[in-house]
Amino acid sequence: MDKIKIAIAGIGNCASSLIQGIEYYKTKDESDAIGLMHWDIGGYKPFDIEIVSAFDIDKRKVGKDVSEAVFALPNCTTVFCPNVPETGAKVKMGWIQDGFSEHMANYSDNRRFIPSTEKEADKDQVVKELKDSGAEILLNYLPVGSEEATRFYMDCALEAGVACINNMPVFIASDLEWAKRFEEKGIPIIGDDIKAQLGATITHRTLADLFNKRGVKLERTYQLNTGGNTDFLNMLNRSRLASKKESKTEAVQSVVSQRMEDDNIHVGPSDYVPWQNDNKVCFLRMEGKLFGDVPMNLELRLSVEDSPNSAGVVIDAIRCCKLALDRGTGGILYSPSSYFMKHPPKQFTDDEAHKMTLDFIRGLRDN
Q: pLDDT tens, 68-101? A: 999 999 999 999 999 999 999 999 999 998 887 8
CA 232 to CA 176: how far, in whole Å? 29
223 with 266: CB under 8 angstroms?
yes
Q: For 311-352, how does the pLDDT look when each residue is reduced to its tens digit (9 = 90+)?
A: 999 999 999 999 999 999 999 999 999 999 999 999 999 999
Crossing angle of the two packed helices 242-253 and 200-213, in degrees rounded to 10: 30
What confidence tens digit (pLDDT) does each residue in 131-171 have?
A: 999 999 999 999 999 999 999 999 999 999 999 999 999 99
**How crowded is the C-beta side of 101, counted as CA atoms within 13 Å?**
20
Angle separating helix axes 306-327 and 13-24, nearest 10 degrees: 70
Q: Is the pLDDT of residue 109 over 70?
A: no
Q: What is the DSSP letter of 158?
A: H
